Structure 1
Amino acid sequence: MRETIAYHGAVDPGSIVQEYPPPPMHVMQLSRISEDEAAARTLGRLRRVLDRAAQLPFYSERWAAVGFEPADLRELDQLSALPTFTVHDLRESIDANPPFGLHQSRVGGPHRVLFSGGTTGSPRPVLHSARDREIGEIIQARHLWAAGIGADDVVMNSFGYGPHNAASTMHEALYRWIGALVLPVSTGNVTSSRLQVTMAHQFRATAWIGMSDYLVHLANVARDLGLDPATDFALQTLVVGGDAALASAAWCGVPAYNLYGTYELQTPGGECWARGGVHFSDDAHIVQVRHEETGEPQPDGARGQLIFTSLYNEAFPIVRFNTLDRSALLPVEQCPCGQSSRKIAGFLGRSDTMVKLRGINIYPEDVGRIATEHPGANGEYLCVASRTPGGDDLTLHVELADAVPADEEVIVRWLRERLGVRITVEIERPGALASQTGLGVRTKPVRFRDDRT
């Protein structure tokens, strides 16, 4: 007979809830402890993660190179001395030691394996123990609850169900830790955009989650079907990856809140109804910001690269993961939503997509935000970096809001003035970029293409 391992025999939900309280009890429980108690808790959890990581060659070899052993850690400030790693290091680990690399391994009990989207290479497998998943879903549920989703909500989940983690973890967080009714519609290549809009109308959905670009597209589909986003739907909350303001405007002012996540970390950050930044759960993650060039820690308010350390992951212990995302730590203060956790400024672009134009650092995400502000554009854009004999160049493709020809020169001039640097601007007809961005098909549309290599 083959041996089996039952999922619920491998995890103790009671002890997990005590350690990582789900919403709404986390607000009260986490606000009760003192700064000293919180620091001691964090240090204890960090030491356990370091001990686990030291068993993996990916970490042990890197730490040996700088003369570090987990027993050396006495204070939290010492964490900054450890080397960081990026997705590029993970790819190298997997390529040299397929299929999972040397940075993760099964730790006993059932595991789940999920994957990155493979946008910039082969999909990266990420192992999760049963405990990893339970805690990750609780953290995600906290953010969804803080954005206003509760047990009586009907939620459209337009994140992509499949080998990557967004849709499945959102689904479980909503179902198991909030009690909401989830409609698992996925992206447009699973459930057509027209059918999704029809279902949202028919089932009186009160919340919609997904990438902001796709939710904007769905609002336009609703209009094409003769439905008014302002009056024909019961939506009260949008929770998105991407530009929350753009999604809110498309749905005629329905409040939209931003999530922050990566394939490795799941969803460590989320915006609450009080806004003012993106909360992360500091009982589950240590977040640092470092200077992009010097690697030095950045003070509150200063932009830099986001560095995450997870305090709970077992299968893939995450210690000083440089996401290459740019953000800033915000000053510590009590949030009106009741949460006492630290905030970051949210996603402010990628440090690895920077294009240097005539001595000026340009980030495609910043270009895209400006492109969506012009009333003659429909919000769809694509930035393409190329290399010329004179250096890097950037071309911005922008779709018009209407098929009726507009004064394209006026739009081009406006964009160049706002950007403050000369780039190539190409005006496209509505829908022309969909084949390149994957809008309505991909979970996360492509907004930047690097043709420099």
Structure 2
Amino acid sequence: MIYWDQEKECMPIEQLRELQLRRLKETVYRVYAFVPAYQKKMDAAGIKPDDIKTLDDLKKLPFTTKQDLRDNYPFGLFAVPMSEVVRIHSSSGTTGKPTVVGYTKKDIDIWAELMARALVSAGATRHSVIQNAYGYGLFTGGLGVHYGAERIGASVIPSSGGNTKRQIMLMQDFGTTILTCTPSYALFMYEVMQEMGVDPADLKLKAGIFGAEPWSENMRREIENNLKIDAYDIYGLSEIIGPGVAVECKYKNGLHIAEDHFIAEIIDPETGEVLPEGEQGELVITAITKEALPIIRYRTRDLTTLDRTPCPCGRTHVRMQKVLGRSDDMVIIRGVNVFPSMVESVLLNIPGVEPHYLLVVDRKGNLDELEVQVEVSEKVFSDEVRKLEELGAHIRRELESALGVSVKVRLVEPKSIERSEGKAKRVIDKRKF
């Protein structure tokens, strides 16, 4: 078995728990001292840093949510001065403001180490040629993988997303051995290969590391059969650190969470109570080594289970099962987080549009598609076809600019979208994971 850091990845459980507790205590003292928002939340809950004496005391601490990051935009949750922040990334928010994450030099170093672990877990070595088709920029995926690949000494092709025929040409000409991208994009690449007359068996591809969106075992089989590779799942969130929080080993029986850097819990998404081991619920993560943005009990909204049974690979860190879905209305479209309220904030600024809409997500072939059904006023709906088409095109442009993904817009007549006396149903997800 090959590891990047065997001492840490295979650390005895008792030693791992001692390390977690020490780092948890240090993190709690730090956020209480340097992050006013955390101090306020802890004071409101009647909790002081000295109250954290065991790992079980973690559940006494208040949760952190995406809303906390928005409320403290942009740098209110940072625990270090900006002079120590060497990198800023951001992810989508539900309004015009994104959620912002920062990194110190040490944070970047830890991130590179975690991604090195992930890549080696999927069979990468310093002799690998890694084609990184995750997006570069404010999205954490591209640079996270890039730094990890360089850390192990592999050759990196920073191809980013899109321009699929060129991606395939690079695979042929540069001898790509490992592909990193979203799973749906990997399948789309295969479709384009077929159109180009390229046989995947003629490529040097051996493995792929796919994440940023939920994907099923059926999709794994399809990717592996079509591209003739081993397909590995990877998990991460910008708010926690980015990709590399968890990754599969060669046994593909769950994703090992890097427990020397993160503490994972499963809670009931409705009550917030910690659930017994093995039960399905919402994943909550505490980051215990981050300097710029230490996160306490972050509610990921991802539904999964934790498995602490021994893994044949020898790694002792807990495994999370593939994400089963979301506990909120957020949907992930080709790696981009989309919230209904993001759509709403755009629509409410367009004259003639009613405040009733529906997001319909489906998978056509191997790519996700988002259709936004929008109610228009009686006057607009009875207008001439050309004006309706112009309005639909205008809405589409505004939504694509705000969301960062392509959108289909369908204008519907007034009162045609189902009403609810409780929480409005804003999303219909037809995809099969």
> AA paired with 1:350?
R
> AA paired with 1:286?
I
| Contact preservation (8 Å) 1:57, 1:103 | no
Partner of 2:390: none
Worse-matched range after superposition: 259-268 or 100-109 = 100-109
CA distance in 1, matches of 2:289, 2:195: 46
| Contact preservation (8 Å) 2:64, 2:295 | no
CA distance in 1, matches of 2:165, 2:95: 30
| Contact preservation (8 Å) 1:289, 1:307 | yes
CA distance in 1, matches of 2:23, 2:69: 23
CA distance in 2, matches of 1:395, 1:149: 38
C-alpha deviation, 1:64, in angstroms: 0.3
Q: Does 1:144 align with 2:119?
A: yes
Distance 1:235 1:444, change over 3 A: farther
Worse-matched range after superposition: 235-244 or 277-286 = 235-244
Partner of 1:375: none
1:395-406 equivalence runs, <5 A? 395=360, 397-399=362-364
CA distance in 1, matches of 2:405, 2:122: 21
Give the gaps of 5 or more residues in structure 2: 345-355, 367-395, 411-423, 428-433
CA distance in 2, matches of 1:103, 1:142: 26
SS of residue matched to 1:160: coil
Give the gaps of 5 or more residues in structure 1: 1-22, 355-363, 369-381, 402-434
CA distance in 2, matches of 1:80, 1:213: 37
1:159-178 equivalence runs, <5 A? 159-176=134-151, 178=152
Q: TM-score, normalised by structure 2?
A: 0.74
Q: How many residues matched?
A: 356
- Of 273, 279, 284, which aligns to 1:307? 284
| Contact preservation (8 Å) 1:110, 1:130 | yes
| Contact preservation (8 Å) 1:325, 1:350 | yes
- Of 27, 46, 55, which aligns to 1:67? 46
Partner of 1:224: 195
Superimposed CA distance per residue, residues 202-245 of structure 1 (whole angstroms, 9 cap, x where no aligned partner): 1111110011111111111111111122x221111010013275
CA distance in 2, matches of 1:86, 1:227: 46
Distance 1:258 1:397, change over 3 A: closer
Distance 1:291 1:29, change over 3 A: closer
CA distance in 1, matches of 2:404, 2:285: 24
CA distance in 2, matches of 1:446, 1:58: 37
Distance 1:315 1:28, change over 3 A: closer
C-alpha deviation, 1:301, in angstroms: 2.1
Q: Does 1:240 align with 2:210?
A: yes
Partner of 1:288: 265
Please provide the CA RMSD for this pair.
3.4
1:244-283 equivalence runs, <5 A? 245=217, 246=219, 249-250=222-223, 251-265=226-240, 266-267=242-243, 268-283=245-260
Distance 1:235 1:182, change over 3 A: same
C-alpha deviation, 1:395, in angstroms: 4.6
C-alpha deviation, 1:151, in angstroms: 1.3
- Of 302, 308, 326, which aligns to 1:350? 326
Partner of 1:101: 76
Distance 1:348 1:37, change over 3 A: same
> AA paired with 2:108?
R
> AA paired with 1:259?
I
SS of residue matched to 2:303: strand
CA distance in 2, matches of 1:383, 1:119: 6
Distance 1:212 1:120, change over 3 A: farther
Partner of 2:294: 317
Distance 1:41 1:223, change over 3 A: same
Superimposed CA distance per residue, residues 159-184 of structure 1 (whole angstroms, 9 cap, x where no aligned partner): 001122211111011111x1111100
C-alpha deviation, 1:255, in angstroms: 1.2
> AA paired with 2:364?
E
Q: TM-score, normalised by structure 1?
A: 0.71
CA distance in 2, matches of 1:384, 1:44: 40
CA distance in 1, matches of 2:87, 2:365: 43
Partner of 1:133: 108
| Contact preservation (8 Å) 2:112, 2:144 | yes
> AA paired with 1:345?
Q
- Of 56, 63, 67, which aligns to 1:88? 67
TM superposition outliers: structure 1 runs of 4+ over 4 Å: 117-121, 382-387, 391-398, 442-447
CA distance in 2, matches of 1:183, 1:244: 27
Distance 1:244 1:198, change over 3 A: farther
SS of residue matched to 1:159: coil
Distance 1:106 1:444, change over 3 A: farther
- Of 298, 312, 315, which aligns to 1:339? 315
| Contact preservation (8 Å) 2:89, 2:101 | yes
C-alpha deviation, 1:140, in angstroms: 1.9
SS of residue matched to 1:352: coil
Partner of 1:373: none
SS of residue matched to 1:353: coil
CA distance in 1, matches of 2:150, 2:294: 26
Give identity over the alignment, percent. Answer: 29
| Contact preservation (8 Å) 1:147, 1:239 | yes
1:139-218 equivalence runs, <5 A? 139-176=114-151, 178-188=152-162, 192-218=163-189
| Contact preservation (8 Å) 2:255, 2:322 | yes
